[in-house]
Chain A
Amino acid sequence: MTDITKNNDPLVFENDIAFDELVKKTNFSEKLNNEVAAFLYRESRLLDARMYKTWHSEILSQDIRYIVASKELRSTRERRYNQPDTVYLFNDDHRQLGIRVEHDLDPQNWRSSPLEIYSRIVSNIELAQDDNSSDIHVRSVCLISRGRRAYQLDQFIYSRNDILTRNRDGQLQLKSRYIHYPERSVSGHNMLMYL
């Protein structure tokens, strides 16, 4: 399994194969499945409710890597051109996400008034786990609907590759999130939200 905390930009195709191998080997328990789903649903609810400080302090582990990548459109047969193909829309650690949270909640953040209304859907949750690691790899597919101002209803649809870990109290926390955002030229006014 590619460790995306070490490699910001896993070869997604190889990672997909590795993930599938791991899914087949993972000994799932219904309890763990339910715990992970509840964790992701709580995260969505906290974000919908703009409880960003709770999200930042309770959902995220201190060593979080939070990445949203956008990839340049290249020929699948391209072999000779070796310039970087990825730009990071988010590439944040715990501190940087904290700055974003402060920005979101600042009373002079004009964007946030009138309030934006979020509805997040998390689906297709799949777990995989290495025998020799307590980290849980989670794939999910998400949809965010954001209503703002009178006429804007923006939708953002994407897949997530998460790694969950446990804190000292045994609670799940998000250690890594990697999203390859599918819409190359993002159309939803801005991506000032947590995916």
Chain B
Amino acid sequence: MKDQDSNLIDVNHGTQLHKIHGDQKIFEKELENVFGRSWLFLTHESIIPNHGDYIVTKMGTDEVIVSRQENGDIKAFLNVCRHRGAQLCPNEAGNAKGFVCSYHGWGYGNTGELQAVPFDKEVYGGLLDKCKNSLHEVAKVQSFHGFIYGCFDEDAPSLDEYFGDLKWYLEPYFEHSGGLELIGPPARCLIRANWKCPSENFVGDAYHVGWTHASALRTGQSVFTPLASNSTPPTEGLGLQVTTKYGSGLGVLWDAYAGIHDSSLIDDMMQWACTKEQQLAEKIGVVRARIYRSHLNTTIFPNNSFLTGSGVFKTWQPIDKDTTEVYTWAMVEKDMPEELKQRIAISVQRTFGVAGYWESDDNDNMESETYMTKGFQTKNKQLNAQMGIGNDVYNGEYPGVVGESAIGETSYRGYYRAYGAIVNSNSWHEIEDKSSTWADILTNAKTK
């Protein structure tokens, strides 16, 4: 990915080569450098509240066990027996003091230590060093207001730094609301799309909503319904786009808390959010309280996306360059009435789950973007993310690099600036070097 791909990501002009969505060498670089160095979503603390609770999930293409320790900490390990490499735990979740491999019976504590080896003395003659055969532990595990992320690279910045400017936007909903929880288990499905197609869509694509989702908007009667068929042009002051140093970004649609939910939920959700907004205004100010009641489409770089308000929470796990496994949870506020939580959870899956009538609108676009990379000529053509280029500002009225309109591609450009830096770097030191002037690079970008 050097000479021939030097224009893979053209940060200065907001373009990318189409092959980023379907090239084997790029995919392998991504596994090594993007998924090997970035913070990746693991679980929510409410899903593993007790000592011994665990879930099994993915970090890139690697399976990991995420386990609650006796002291309340959370650790993550590769889900692989150290002996001959069999899958250690076939379950998705449970509570266990340890894990026993079904192949030869090696047993590990949930601390990751190898504790039991059948016929240890007889067959190894006491020569097997158990201390050197603990489970491979994920280097870092940290929490953002209950949302647990892991990182394979010890040198990565803290999760707090990684969220960076995004915290200002996310804290009203994630923290000041009283906190969130995920309703699991997740729905799971495989789509024939490169993992970045949905990640980039969620990071900053308000443009597609009125057209891609025209039928869902018309029939579902949500707060977004006036956008159906692009019948209403975007007005000034409808929202913002935001991007940050490490590629995470979001779009704000002001006052649209109820998001994608249909008319049966709008009144209850908007009433809930208006009441809380008033309480929050005194605590965190009018603007951030309004952000709580707004709708944020977000991707935490590289592959964790969510819609605040709507309560849609996703990971896009790479299987191969053409295939992504989608995990979908419902995200709700902890202090909501149980009945409202359940209605939101059902509606999240109805709209953005495996049989979600919004999700399926998107999937065909994601799959076709990926499929088209098989075209020999096509894959070396440029993709355009230039909408709003030249108008982005850094640390103006709002934190981060911001495009002050609801519809634009500021967050795409920031996502791919970080992607270009990370996928082509062999260390966090290198990534930081390439990112020291990240905001200038983005605000100085232009079409030619």
Contacts and interface: CB of A to CB of B under 8 A. Distances in A.
B316 to A, nearest CB: 13
What's the interface size class on A, roughly? 35 or more
B212 A78 contact: no
Interface string B59-96: 00000000000000000000000000000001111111
B350 A91 contact: yes
A74 interface: yes
A10 B355 CA distance: 21
Given A73-B91, A187-B190, A100 B354 contact: no
B346 A88 contact: yes
Contact of B219 (A71, A103, A186): A103
Contacts of B220: 99, 103
A53 to B, nearest CB: 13
B182 to A, nearest CB: 10
A91 B94 CA distance: 25
B406 to A, nearest CB: 21
Given A103-B220, A110-B361, A87 B353 contact: yes
A146 to B, nearest CB: 12
Nearest to B212: A110
Contacts of A95: 264
Contact of B191 (A78, A86, A110, A189): A189
A73 B90 CA distance: 8
Contacts of A90: 350, 355
Interface in A93-126: 95-96, 99-100, 102-103, 106-111
A189 B95 CA distance: 32
A185 interface: yes
B355 A190 contact: yes
A99 B356 CA distance: 12
B355 A85 contact: no
Given A87-B186, A99-B220, A110-B212, A72 B357 contact: no
B349 to A, nearest CB: 6
A140 to B, nearest CB: 20
Contacts of A110: 212, 215, 361, 364
Interface string A125-142: 000000000000000000
Given A72-B93, A75-B91, A92 B350 contact: yes
B188 interface: yes
Q: Is the interface of B mostly helix, strand, loop or mixed?
A: mixed
A84 interface: yes
Given A70-B187, A92-B350, A99-B220, A192 B94 contact: no
B184 A70 contact: no
A172 interface: no
Interface string B337-358: 0000000001001100111010
A89 interface: yes
Contact of A192 (B184, B219, B357): B357
A149 to B, nearest CB: 9
Given A103-B215, A190-B360, A185 B189 contact: yes
A109 B215 contact: yes
B95 A186 contact: no
B262 interface: yes
A72 B327 CA distance: 12
9 contacts: A72-B92, A80-B50, A83-B53, A84-B185, A85-B185, A89-B354, A99-B262, A100-B357, A111-B364
Given A81-B95, A89-B349, A91-B349, 8 more contacts: A72-B92, A78-B95, A81-B93, A83-B53, A95-B264, A106-B218, A184-B92, A190-B359
